[in-house]
């Protein structure tokens, strides 16, 4: 009698086992780090501040390792802060903080106006998906681009720029453009792994990341920074102000993107015969603009107008304007979707992660933990005594490197912006250091190097159009140019307009 031999695990199964083991180790390591920070005597830090530092270590390990999903880690962060503060001693009163105040601190991020803006932005992105308006806009641009590859590359960049104004979700913007580009490649008879596919898809994806910087409402991580700035620095950053500061960088980067992509990836052909016909066919299949698309167009244009004129023609905040716009989108007759659809399609986990990140950052700042961390790291190298350009250069480089470990720029902003706000207070810069913090937020948006650096990168990578090596080949020169442009504008344009 022979004994059956169990089949050996496939390489994919072995990799999955290793990944799960690594996540399990990271999960327990996060709790060990939390306990170690809390139990270690730190001169000048009260228990609430040590809890804040411990929670930062816990969060970073969870976010970098993705031991659990981001929404789950967010719920854990809020719960742990509330529990530990219940028993922690308030250094001002000498008594336990208590459950009520502890929960209030842990949930503070959920009351931020920035969270309301993110929620409204998610609803706006959902409305675009419900009507297909963003896809129609992309098709119109590609129709005018024609069939030459160079023009289609420009078209992919232009689409990303246009959609950044109206679609406050990088993933949604990439999701609108990438399938159309892949369809054009397939129509020409090339494989999805072709160099042409890699060129077009990577271009569109990198352009999305570039314009995450240029438009305040284009990415959730920008709203994290704005929320901290308003709460801790007492300064409001309007949509128009952000655009004046950031758009020149994004415009220059868009030009650089074209030349870098054309140099880095040489496609098999320089013209896609039948490409225009394919786009026209897809437009014909969509039919004429529906009533919902027309109404959404009107709402989006009005929304953009009110965003751009905030603080100039009216005092209404971006958050208030966006919430009102979403209200119109959900109304009977004049709306474009109903609540049931919105409830099913909106990624509520994103909102929880965002709010928990705000809570953690506010906790770090209010307890003085962010200031201590800034002094212990950047203060140790004498950053406060350096010229502002040198400080921006060093901190930006640190920012770029640490982003390699984060798959979420929102989480990265939650971890770093509080530290940068504390650091800015020690620098000799105008306007209380708001410019320094804003510039570092621009750098946080860099996701050019790896597919795992941003959700839109992963969406595009999932098509199989390019390899990690191809993405890195374009990402390295893009990151270098982006970094040099940060320094150039810091020394010139941003200095001239008084940002730094």
In the predicted model, what is the mean pLDDT of residues 318-327?
89
In Å, how far from its chain's centre is CA 241? 19
pLDDT greater than 80 at residue 26 = yes
For residue 301, the SS3 value is helix
User: What pTM was estimated for this model as a whole?
Assistant: 0.86
pLDDT greater than 80 at residue 184 = no
Residue 227 and residue 232: Cα distance in Å, rounded? 8
What is the structure's pLDDT at 118?
A: 84
Is the model more confident about 369 or about 188?
369
Residue 235 and residue 431: Cα distance in Å, rounded? 9
- Whether 74 contacts 353, CB under 8 Å: yes
Q: Classify burial at 469, counting beta carbons within 10 Å of its beta carbon; exposed 0-12, middle 13-18, buried 19 or more.
A: exposed
What is the structure's pLDDT at 274?
A: 75
Q: What is the pLDDT of residues 112-170, one digit of tens each?
A: 888 888 888 888 888 888 898 888 888 888 888 887 889 989 999 998 999 899 888 88
User: Is 15 inside any structural domain?
Assistant: no
User: Is 179 inside any structural domain?
Assistant: yes
- Whether 217 contacts 168, CB under 8 Å: yes
Using the Cα atoms of residue 90, residue 95, residue 98 and residue 100 in order, give the sign of their dihedral. negative
Look at 75-79, 417-421, 448-452 and tell me which has the smallest mean pLDDT: 448-452
pLDDT greater than 80 at residue 497 = yes
User: Is 196 inside any structural domain?
Assistant: yes
Q: What is the pLDDT of residues 55-79, one digit of tens each?
A: 999 999 998 888 898 899 999 999 9
Q: What is the helix (H) or strand (E) element at residue 359, kind and residue range?
A: helix 348-367
User: Is 469 inside any structural domain?
Assistant: no
In the predicted model, what is the mean pLDDT of residues 179-186?
81
> 70-93 as b/e, with b when 16 or more CB fall inside 10 Å?
bbebbebbbebbbebbbebeeeee
Token pair for 89: 């001693």
What is the structure's pLDDT at 65?
A: 87
In the predicted model, what is the mean pLDDT of residues 169-185?
83
- Whether 365 contacts 423, CB under 8 Å: no
User: How many domains is the chain partitioned into structurally?
Assistant: 1
User: Is 261 inside any structural domain?
Assistant: yes
What is the structure's pLDDT at 280?
A: 87
pLDDT greater than 90 at residue 5 = no
- Whether 406 contacts 78, CB under 8 Å: no
State the residue range of the domain holding 283: 113-347
In the predicted model, what is the mean pLDDT of residues 324-328?
92
pLDDT greater than 80 at residue 422 = yes
6 pLDDT band (50/70/90 cuts)? Answer: low
Residue 12 and residue 15: Cα distance in Å, rounded? 5
In the predicted model, what is the mean pLDDT of residues 273-296?
87
User: Is 370 inside any structural domain?
Assistant: no
User: Is 138 inside any structural domain?
Assistant: yes
8 pLDDT band (50/70/90 cuts)? Answer: low
Using the Cα atoms of residue 412, residue 418, residue 422 and residue 427 in order, give the sign of their dihedral. positive
> 341-357 as b/e, with b when 16 or more CB fall inside 10 Å?
ebeeeeeeebbbbbbbb
Q: What is the pLDDT of residues 352-371, one digit of tens each?
A: 988 999 999 999 999 999 99
Average pLDDT in the chain: 89
pLDDT greater than 80 at residue 499 = yes
Question: Under the phi-then-psi rule, with left for phi > 0, alpha for psi from -120 to 50, and beta for the rest, what region is 353?
Answer: alpha
pLDDT greater than 90 at residue 101 = yes
pLDDT greater than 70 at residue 14 = no
User: Is 296 inside any structural domain?
Assistant: yes
Residue 75 and residue 355: Cα distance in Å, rounded? 10
Look at 203-207, 227-231, 257-261, 426-430 and tell me which has the smallest mean pLDDT: 426-430
pLDDT greater than 90 at residue 379 = no
In the predicted model, what is the mean pLDDT of residues 25-49?
93
Is the model more confident about 18 or about 134?
134
4 pLDDT band (50/70/90 cuts)? Answer: low
């Amino acid at each position: 009698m022979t004994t059956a031999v169990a089949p050996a695990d496939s390489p994919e199964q072995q990799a999955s086992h290793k990944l799960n083991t690594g996540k399990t180790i990271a999960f327990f390591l996060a709790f060990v780090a939390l306990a170690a920070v809390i139990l270690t005597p730190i001169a000048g830090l009260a228990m609430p501040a040590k809890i804040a530092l411990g929670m930062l270590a816990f969060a970073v390990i969870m976010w970098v390792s993705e031991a659990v999903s981001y929404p789950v880690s967010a719920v854990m962060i809020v719960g742990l802060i509330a529990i530990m503060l219940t028993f922690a001693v308030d250094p001002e009163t000498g008594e336990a903080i208590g459950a009520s105040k502890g929960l209030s601190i842990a949930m503070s991020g959920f009351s931020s106006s920035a969270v309301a803006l993110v929620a409204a932005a998610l609803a706006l992105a959902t409305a675009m998906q419900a009507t297909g308006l963003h896809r129609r806009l992309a098709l119109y641009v590609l129709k005018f681009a024609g069939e030459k590859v160079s023009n289609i590359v420009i078209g992919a960049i232009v689409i990303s720029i246009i959609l950044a104004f109206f679609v406050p979700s990088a993933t949604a913007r990439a999701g609108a453009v990438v399938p159309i580009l892949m369809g054009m490649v397939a129509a020409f008879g090339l494989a999805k792994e072709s160099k042409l596919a890699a060129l077009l898809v990577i271009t569109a994806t990198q352009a999305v990341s570039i314009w995450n910087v240029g438009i305040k409402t284009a990415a959730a991580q920008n709203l994290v920074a704005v929320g901290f700035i308003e709460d801790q620095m007492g300064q409001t950053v309007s949509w128009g102000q952000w655009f004046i500061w950031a758009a020149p960088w994004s415009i220059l980067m868009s030009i650089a993107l074209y030349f870098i992509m054309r140099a880095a990836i040489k496609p098999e052909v320089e013209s896609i015969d039948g490409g225009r016909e394919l786009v026209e066919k897809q437009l014909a299949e969509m039919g004429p603009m529906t009533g919902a698309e027309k109404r959404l167009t009107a709402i989006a244009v009005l929304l953009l107008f009110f965003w751009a004129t905030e603080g100039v023609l009216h005092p209404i905040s971006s958050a208030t304007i966006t919430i009102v716009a979403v209200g119109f989108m959900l109304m009977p007759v004049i709306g474009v979707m109903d609540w049931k659809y919105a409830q099913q399609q909106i990624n509520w986990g994103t909102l929880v992660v965002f709010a928990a990140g705000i809570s953690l950052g506010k906790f770090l700042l209010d307890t003085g933990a962010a200031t201590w961390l800034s002094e212990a790291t950047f203060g140790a190298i004498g950053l406060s005594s350096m010229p502002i350009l040198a400080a921006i250069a060093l901190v930006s480089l640190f920012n770029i490197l640490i982003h390699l470990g984060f798959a979420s720029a929102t989480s990265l902003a939650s971890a770093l912006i509080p530290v940068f706000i504390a650091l800015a207070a020690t620098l000799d810069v105008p306007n209380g250091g708001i410019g320094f913090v804003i510039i570092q937020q621009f750098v946080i948006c860099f996701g050019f190097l790896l597919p795992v650096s941003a959700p839109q990168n992963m969406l595009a990578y999932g098509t199989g159009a390019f390899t990690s090596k191809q993405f890195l080949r374009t990402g390295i020169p893009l990151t270098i140019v982006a970094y040099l442009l940060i320094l150039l504008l810091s020394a010139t344009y941003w200095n001239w307009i008084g940002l730094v």
